[in-house]
Amino acid sequence: MAWRDTFGHLARTVESVFPSDKDLDRLFAAKRPLRVKLGLDLTSTTVTIGNEIPLRILGRFQELGHTAVLILGDFTALVGDPSGRDRTRPTLTAEQVRRNGETWLAQIGKVFDVSRAEVRRNSEWLGRLGPEEIVRLAGQLTVAQMLERDSFAKRHAEGSPIHLHEFLYCLFQGYDSVAVRSDVELGGTDQTFNLNIGRVIQKHAGMPSQACVINPLLEGVDGSAKMSKSLGNAIGIDTPPKDMFGLATRVPDAIVGKYFRLATDVADAEIGRHLAGDIWSAKKAMAEAIVARHYGAAAGKAEREEFERVFRAGELPEEMPDAAIDLAAAWTAASLVRAAFGGSGAEARRLVEQGAVTLDGARLEDPLAAVAVRDGQVLRAGKRKFARLRAK
């Protein structure tokens, strides 16, 4: 049986297999437990629904009886992954990496069974490499081979700096495959070069070269870049249901189908029906499915109903935060918005000038105009921000 037949709808989250599907099929046909590796650098505190794509593939391998090898890249995070970057990535401190890793396993445990996985930190072996071993490792590839990488080639052509440690990152990630004796490695399209370096280093070590299962990258909710917590365009798998639904509805129309395929469990035929109809309705169905995947079908349905009630019918949400303010103070429209919701003064003025701010339903139009406030009034800024004013 071909590997895709055993993966169900998760097969659509695999863009390609290197060298080919047939190589992975041959591994499946061997009827032995495979060692399937996924490495994740601890560069933030949040596991996003983009990170979740290869995690679910890893979980499926585990369900099929194979060994899930999850590598937390505490050492490689200190080096900094150059993947897809047009400049050197800032490196993290050991303390930052430690803090980032504190919540990762708890979050990942919501995606697949971490207790049955082999969880490793690559500082276990990379931290013990001596100068002689690093020199031997570096001797397994040439500068010309490294410059075949698109991002390196572009930077070299532009005269932008490429630091030596960025070459080492690729070698270290490849050495991880030797250390854990991986049969299969998972990663996004931005990791294709690194995954293939692993195959080369395994060959030098006298091991069979791993197959590489590559998933497409999921753009953030702004649609302009890979989903990233640092870019502020990410949906975390721990994001509260209300916020998760709201963020998903911000996705540009052009990639609603991609979000359906990569971030939901909706069947292909149903996705097709949604996309053939009204795109706004499809977007809400997609957002509902993302919430349902993480919090259950009832939560997804409830968030959609609440969203439609509030943002389409213009009603107030059933729950909203209180904003404690000094009712006796002299308030302007802009200063009131900033006190209730935070942010900059420029942003508050812009919201008022755009007509996006109301107080008990009355629009505030002049950011510098004096505003009389009372306890219990509802301040709204934009489509999604509500606060009930309370005496400080």
Residue whose structure tokens are 């994001």 = 239
- DSSP, res 73: E
pLDDT band at 1 (very low <50, low <70, confident <90, very high): low
* Tokens found for residue 211: 């197959």
Domain range summary for the chain, segments of one domain joined by +: 3-215, 239-312, 322-391
The letter for the amino acid at 150 is D
**Per-residue pLDDT tens for 276-331?**
999 989 999 999 999 999 999 999 999 999 888 876 666 777 778 888 888 888 89
239-312: CATH homologous superfamily?
Tyrosyl-Transfer RNA Synthetase (1.10.240.10)
pTM above 0.85, yes or no: no
Arithmetic mean of pLDDT, 215-225: 89
- What was the pLDDT predicted at 86? 45
| Phi/psi at 119 (5° precision) | -100, 120
Is the separation of the CB atoms in 241 and 303 below 8 Å?
Answer: yes
**Per-residue pLDDT tens for 336-379?**
999 988 888 888 898 888 888 888 777 888 889 888 888 888 89
3-215 has which CATH code?
Answer: 3.40.50.620
Residue 24 neighbours by CB under 8 Å, 6+ apart: 3, 17, 184, 211, 213
**For the chain, what is the mean pLDDT?**
88
**Per-residue pLDDT tens for 5-58?**
999 999 999 999 999 999 999 999 998 999 999 998 877 788 999 999 999 999
The residues that bridge with 381 in the sheet, in sequence order, are: 357, 385
Q: Which CATH number fits domain 322-391: 1.10.10.350, 2.60.40.1930, 3.10.290.10, 3.40.50.720?
A: 3.10.290.10
Q: Which ranges in 256-343 belong to alpha helices (H)?
A: 256-263, 268-276, 279-295, 297-307, 333-341
Please give the Cα distance from 118 to 261 (Å, whole number): 28
**Per-residue pLDDT tens for 156-190?**
788 887 778 788 888 999 999 999 999 999 999 98
